[in-house]
Structure 1
């Protein structure tokens, strides 16, 4: 739980009273590898801070080879199907644990209470929103402006842990190519 406080305090100091209120609302949740954290059609009820593990955002398909991976979150990052969380509408995608995952979560209703009673809640909401927006915006711009090879190479600098810890079939989907095309790209640049 202290990692969350450290993460928040990189942006703003949190007084003890606010921290006690916020931390009292956190619930530890643990998922084993390949567990589904959120299914399509469910409403996201949590914003979570990953203490350990990797979460994948995907649109599942009947043919597993055609699943679309469009995001990842790692240790010391916030994770949520945030559009569903904000709008209280069913999610159009799934969240899956790519490894064993432990996280600290705050529910929608508890976060609303923290918002009204402390300053820290608003900071956490802003931090998670900004982070998720920047990742999404950067990825959209890359899909529109860069070649598949450029997108792959950018992963080495932007998100090096992605390359090391994620199966290549998910990386291929993430950059918008087939596994075979990714294999050719990797061969060409090595």
Structure 2
């Protein structure tokens, strides 16, 4: 967070005292539908994804790597059960802070309102990106856009999750990738 805006020693100390480290193994869940989410997760190492199930089909709604903060916003802010799964795609190390601690931090350290506003702006833009990708008419355009906007994930995430995120079959994604890969 200090790379976003100077926090000050007291705010940094508060964050350290009110958060804890959690490791989660690849394939394990942080959250399942019907559970309540009450924490924010900073991804120190690894990758998380969220997905929903529709007719036994998994639909990936987001994929977040290191240095991102994630949660189930709807569940937390509305105090309602989650509709989504949050799963580790790699062995991951997270730093976790409760919703209550974050709310208290806003009051104790007004500078955090600036930091969070800057983060929210960034995450709203990412949400807009996801919305944009969903509306692109062709699988090729969706893949090209993903490849351009999230190059760090293209060869890191299993194809089935990228395909699910892009709204196409794994076979279609595989064909697109093979056409785009230069022959040596």
Normalized against structure 2, the TM-score is what?
0.90
Q: Which residue of 1 aligns with 2:6?
A: 13
Structure number having the greater helix percentage: 1
- Once residues 131 and 42 of structure 1 are traced to their aligned partners in structure 2, the CA distance between those partners, rounded to angstroms, is 27
Q: The residue matched to 2:37 in structure 1 has which SS? A: coil
Q: CA shift at 1:131, angstroms?
A: 3.1
Query: Out of 30, 34, 41, which is 1:41 matched to?
Result: 34
Q: 1:30 aligns with which of 20, 23, 33?
A: 23
What's the CA shift string for 1:125-183, capped at 9, x where partnerless?
Answer: 33443333221111112221352111111222211122111110111111111112212
How far apart are the structure 1 equivalents of 2:81 and 2:123?
18
Does 1:175 pair with 2:166? yes
Aligned to 1:77: 68
Please list every run of 5 or more consecutive structure 2 residues that lacks an aligned counterpart in the other structure: none
1:23-77: per-residue Cα shift (whole Å, max 9, x none)?
21111111011010011111211111111000011113574xx211111110111
CA contact (8 A) 2:133 2:145 kept: no
The equivalent of 2:48 in structure 1 is 55
Alpha-carbon distance between aligned partners in 1 of 2:75 and 2:113, rounded to the nearest angstrom:
18
Deviations 1:6-27 (A, max 9, x none): xx22321111112112221111
Q: TM-score scaled by structure 1?
A: 0.87
Asked if structure 2 preserves the Cα contact closer than 8 Å seen for 1:111 and 1:121, the reply is no
Where structure 1 has 5 or more consecutive residues not aligned to the other structure, the ranges are: 1-7
| 1:1-190 matches, cutoff 5 A | 8-60=1-53, 63=56, 66-190=57-181
Q: Quick one: distance in 1 between partners of 2:24 and 2:133?
A: 31
Q: Would you say how many aligned residue pairs link Structure 1 and Structure 2?
A: 181
